[in-house]
Amino acid sequence: MKVFVYYSLKREPGDKQLWDFIKENAKKVNFALLSNVNILELPKQSLDIPEELFAFSIKSCEEGVSKPDLKIYEKCQEKARTIPSHILFIDDVRENLIVPEIMGWNT
């Protein structure tokens, strides 16, 4: 199963548990990063996120489209090279889960 993780630059209470899970399972699970990071936040995010834990990352500022636009999820699914039901998508904004659910992703 592919797991797409939203990363917020805000430090939320659950972040440490999520990052610990990713670090512990990175060799067993294909994690990917889908972030609505803007160009000003990108340098900080690059320092905060160990990208070697992810099979790939998609950043809205590089793609010119952001969540919840269908195009960014299609790009993510294309890179994942898997069927929608094999994708688990985690996000902290309910609005960003609607399109993936319609596409058949697990949220």
Predicted pLDDT at 43: 58
Residues 63-89: tens digit of each pLDDT: 999 999 999 999 999 999 999 999 989
| % pLDDT > 90, the chain | 32
The per-residue b/e assignment along 55-80, b for 16 or more CB within 10 angstroms, e otherwise, is eebbbbbeeebbbbbeebbeebbeeb
pLDDT band at 46 (very low <50, low <70, confident <90, very high): low
Predicted pLDDT at 51: 76
